A = this chain, B = another copy of it.
Amino acid sequence: MHVPGLSQERIVKIEQDILGKNDGLARTNRRRLAEKGVFALNLVSSPGSGKTTLLVRTLTDLKERHPITVIEGDQQTSNDADRIRATGVAAIQVNTGKGCHLDASMVGHALDDLDPAANSLLFIENVGNLVCPAAFDLGEAHKVVVLSVTEGEDKPLKYPDMFAASDLMLLNKADLLPHLDFDVAACIAAARRVNPRLEVLTVSARSGEGMDAFYAWIEARAALARRPV
């Protein structure tokens, strides 16, 4: 961060304070989730990548198989939590106001209210932003970055921190590929330059294409997190 009139040392110290406090609270969240066998994903992306639609479809398809709760982050409105609750899944909306990301403290407070069941799934939909949420651990098992194929192949190179911080990339809106000049292989190559271990699934939350592979990815990892009740 470059801030005119504030010394670089002062800025670095403030950033370290902020991230250090956040990391401590994220560790607390992670321990708390592990004790109950709750498997948590932190969904990150640009605005408009289709995270909420993807989540609504996921909940609809998985809610009979697992207890699920959702934390929704947005600058303003409760639109997304309303859409989630319409599926019958409990959701808490966090409004960040001027803020560009959720932090571990917000998630900790939301967990107090949600009280997720043992061996359940927790989806955290972050504020739509390819920069800020990368630096903030919330205590999740994995960050999942959702990239819409309408956004262009070069996004992983232009916003590398987010793709480096994520374990899975969902290339969403694949149903639109016939109408776009989007090179899937080039996008995956760009993402792997930033993060060679990044897993990739091509999906369409609208048509359902590829969603079963995403569910299998989730369920294999959630099984490992499970605890005896």
Give residues in A with beta carbon < 8 Å to B. Answer: 1-6, 14, 17-18, 21-22, 25, 46-48, 74-77, 79-80, 96-100, 103-106, 127-132, 135, 148, 150-152, 154-155, 157-161, 173, 176, 179-180
Contacts and interface: CB of A to CB of B under 8 A. Distances in A.
A17 B150 CA distance: 38
Contact of A75 (B5, B79, B99, B161): B161
Given A130-B47, A159-B75, A105 B150 contact: no
Given A2-B105, A2-B106, A152 B75 contact: no
Decide if the interface of chain A is mainly helix, strand, loop or mixed.
loop
A160 B6 contact: no
B128 A159 contact: yes
Nearest to A105: B4
How many copies the complex holds: the figure is 2
Given A46-B48, A98-B135, A152-B48, A157 B4 contact: no
Contacts of A3: 17-18, 21-22, 103
B1 A46 contact: no
Contacts of A99: 1-2, 131
B48 A148 contact: yes
A5 B74 CA distance: 22
Contacts of A158: 47, 74-77, 79-80, 128
Given A98-B135, A129-B130, A154 B79 contact: yes
A154 B106 CA distance: 23
